Amino acid sequence: MTVTRFAPSPTGYMHIGNLRTALYSYLIAKHDDGNFILRIEDTDRERLVEGATDVIKSTLAITGLNYDEGPEVGGEHGPYVQSERKAIYMEYAKKLVDMGYAYYCFCTKERLEELHSEDATGGYDRHCRNLSKEEIEKNLASGIPFVIRQKMPLEGTTSYVDSVFGEISMNNSELQDQILMKADGYPTYNFAHVIDDYLMGVTHVVRGSEYLTSTPKYVLLYDAFGWERPNYVHLPLLMGKNEDGSVSKLSKRHGAVSFQDLVRDGYLPEAIINYIALLGWCPKQSETEFFTLDELKTLFTIDGVSKSPAVFDFEKLLWFNGEYIHKLDDEKFYELSKEFIKTSIPANINKDRMLTLLKTRVSKLSELDEKMEFFINLPEYEKELFFNKKNKISDLGVVKTVLEAALEVLSDTNSFDNDTLFNSLMPLSEKLGMKTGAIMWCVRIAVSGMAATPGGATEIMEVIGKDETLSRIGKALAKL
Ligand code: GLU
């Protein structure tokens, strides 16, 4: 059975790159009806950020990336929080020492600092690699703090085959004797994740490509224990567009890159998921770019993952989001809008009609306030706004005639719904010998004060109601 995991460190917000890793990991498992595990990697105690685990869990819940095993959910391989598994790692580290693949290191911080100041890139000089058994025992007995380091082979190469990037090979002489267990008794990421992936039966390790070149060290651990190596699926880098057109690793300076910030800015989780699914993966045959999570489960295969860096394009995400919003049914849109509308909406406004007009004109929910402003307050405008080539309006006297006639019929119109309004204004066309379009143009400018609006004249009047309509036309006439 395919088993994958998402193994975030709770060190901050949910970066969009992490969410993509979670998504791909989830999809690889679910494509095969396999298991998806959430594991919290919190052994770097200094980098922990309060509340970060909750953000991770809520993000997975909101996006529908439900895990089969993990904190709270439970499962046969728990606990799923690494700090609760401390004893397990020490046991395995000692096994490695016994087998000759790891060793105790008693070097003091001062010694290591001195080493570093002499040669910043040199790394550890393997000073404790060959301590005698007696020396080690004596040090342990006298309680000298220690770390446990991996004993890297000094010659030869270590290779593995990544499902996306192909064969990766490293000279063993380049591998540092990395720390497996720290002096505080916690394992490093480098060690803990290997032990856990093995114990949790993970078949596919899915993660960012920053781990591509450290993986030879990890496969050496599998080999040392005699465990079968998992499949590695390293994901392409995520880049952001810089102002000068170049690209660099996606970061805050490119815009909102946390899931929470995007949601707060009015992006829909479904749109975000759909968009990031395509950041590094492409379906084999598909006419469309729009996929639900269920469709992705069916379509997603590892051979569709590309190794070329993917560029996060905010414009494209915005477009995706707009498409998702436009397709929402009205009730759902009203519901979602609530959180975003800060404007207090006066009683004359037909709110539902207004939102329906706006639904297909916003690309994200945070645009609502700004886009609805003209319904609530008539903007300042100059009378020249009435001029229009297409409708052949170049004479303000004509505009005045139209608005006077409109004011008269609208005063006598009692039901302010779109159809009735249209039927009231229609006869003016024949009466004034003008095209309906030209009449509607004049009325729309008068009731909106804007050249481009969501909705036509009658739709806007339906939203703002009779009194406001008459008052706005009156104001226009006063201008002319
Ligand atoms: N805790 C690691 C991280 O957040 C996980 C890497 C991995 O998936 O192995 O980067």
Q: How do residues 253-294 score in pLDDT, each as one tens digit?
A: 898 889 999 999 999 999 999 999 999 999 988 889 999 999
Q: How many CB atoms lie within 10 A of CB 290?
A: 14
Per-residue pLDDT at 12 exceeds 90: no
For residue 226, is it left (φ>0), alpha (ψ between -120 and 50) or beta? left
Note the pTM of the prediction, 2 decimals: 0.94
Q: Which atom of ligand 1 is nearest to the CA of 21?
A: 8
Residue 207 alpha carbon to ligand 1 centre in Å:
7
DSSP strands (E only) in 352-419: none
Per-residue pLDDT at 184 exceeds 90: yes
Residue 7 alpha carbon to ligand 1 centre in Å:
5
Give the pLDDT confidence score for residue 193 in this predicted structure: 98
Residue 9 alpha carbon to ligand 1 centre in Å:
7
Residue 105 alpha carbon to ligand 1 centre in Å:
26
- The token pair at 84 is 């609760």
- Name the residue of 6, 186, 207 to mutate for ligand 1: max ligand atoms within 8 A of Cβ: 207
CA atoms within 13 A on the CB side of 5: 27
Q: Is the CB of 204 under 6 A from ligand 1?
A: no
- The token pair at 435 is 């095209």
**What band does 455 get if pLDDT is binned at 50, 70 and 90?**
very high
Q: Which atom of ligand 1 is nearest to the CA of 5?
A: 8
Give the model confidence (pLDDT) of 189-239 as tens digits: 999 999 999 999 999 999 999 999 999 999 999 999 999 999 999 999 999
Compute and round to an integer the Cα radius of gyration of the chain: 32
Q: Which atom of ligand 1 is nearest to the CA of 197?
A: 9
Nearest CA to ligand 1 atom 4: 8
Residue 176 alpha carbon to ligand 1 centre in Å:
20
Give the model confidence (pLDDT) of 318-333 as tens digits: 999 999 999 999 999 9
Active site residues: 252
Per-residue pLDDT at 121 exceeds 90: no
What are the structural domains, with CATH classification, of the chain? 84-235 (3.40.50.620), 239-330 (1.10.1160.10), 366-479 (1.10.10.350)
CA distance 326 to 87: 53
**For 473-477, which contacts have Cβ atoms below 8 Å and span 24 or more sequence positions?**
473/403, 473/406, 473/407, 473/410, 473/443, 473/446, 473/447, 474/407, 475/378, 475/446, 476/399, 476/403, 476/445, 476/446, 477/400, 477/403, 477/404, 477/407
Q: Is the CB of 8 under 6 A from ligand 1?
A: yes
80: CB partners within 8 A, 6+ apart: 37, 38, 39, 40, 69, 70, 71
Nearest CA to ligand 1 atom 2: 8
Give the pLDDT confidence score for residue 356 in this predicted structure: 97
Q: Is the CB of 9 under 6 A from ligand 1?
A: yes
What DSSP line would sit under 305-364, residue for residue? B-SSPEEE-HHHHHHHHHHHHHHS-HHHHHHHHHTT--SPPPTTS-HHHHHHHHHTT-SS
